């Protein structure tokens, strides 16, 4: 794993005003993967957008880690259903006219 793509958790805590324990909880819930190199914990930058979403849900909606887990599972289901709906819409177009 390249260090340049990793962001120290401590920086994220400062930036988003959250405790390191919040990241530990997300890690324990399987919502994020934390890498440890030379006693420093890091998060891969590809996870930032999801983590930001989790922090917003936590801070703005007062939802705990278990709630975030449930929300993310439901959002994933919505995404799958939305894709399925798109596919069906596309197929439906086949039968919409005189064909």
Partner 1 sequence: MNYIDYYKILGINKKATENEIKKAYRKMARKYHPDLNPNDKEAEQKFKEINEANEVLSNPENRKKYDQYGKDWKHAEEFEKAKQQQQYYGGRGQRTGGQFSEDEFSDFFSSMFGGGFERSGSRNVKFRGQDYNAELQLELEDVYRTHKRTLTVNGKNIRLTIPAGVRNGQVIKIKGYGGEGINGGPKGDLHIKFTILNHSRFKRDKDNLYTTVDLDLYKALLGGEVIIETFDGKVKLNVKPETKNLTKVKLKGKGFPIYKKEGKFGDLYITYRIKIPTKLTTKEKELIKELAKLR
* Chain contacts with partner 1 (rule: CB under 8 A): 7, 11-12, 14-17, 45, 48-49, 52-53, 55-57, 59-63, 71, 75, 78-79, 82-83, 86-87, 89-91, 93-94, 97-99
Q: Rank residues 40 and 86 by Cβ distance to partner 1 and give the closer one.
A: 86
Q: How far is the CB of 17 from partner 1 (least distance, A)?
A: 5
Is the Cβ of residue 37 or residue 61 nearer to partner 1 in the bound state? 61
* Other Cβ atoms closer than 10 A to 35: 14
Give the residue with the Cβ less far from partner 1, 33 or 93: 93
**Least distance in Å: CB of 95 to partner 1?**
8
CA 69/CA 94 separation, integer angstroms: 38
CB-count burial class (<10 Å; 0-12, 13-18, 19+) for 84: exposed
Tokens of 78: 């919505």
DSSP for 9-29 reads: HHHHHHHHT--HHHHHHHHHT
């Amino acid at each position: 794993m390249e260090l340049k793509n990793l962001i120290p958790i401590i920086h994220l805590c400062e930036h988003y005003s959250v405790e390191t324990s919040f990241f530990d909880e997300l890690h324990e819930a399987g919502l994020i993967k934390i890498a440890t190199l030379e006693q420093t914990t890091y998060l891969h930058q590809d996870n930032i957008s999801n983590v930001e979403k989790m922090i917003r849900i936590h801070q703005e909606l007062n939802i705990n880690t278990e709630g975030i887990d449930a929300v993310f599972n439901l959002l994933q289901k919505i995404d799958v259903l939305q894709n399925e709906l798109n596919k069906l819409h596309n197929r439906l177009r086949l039968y919409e006219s005189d064909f």
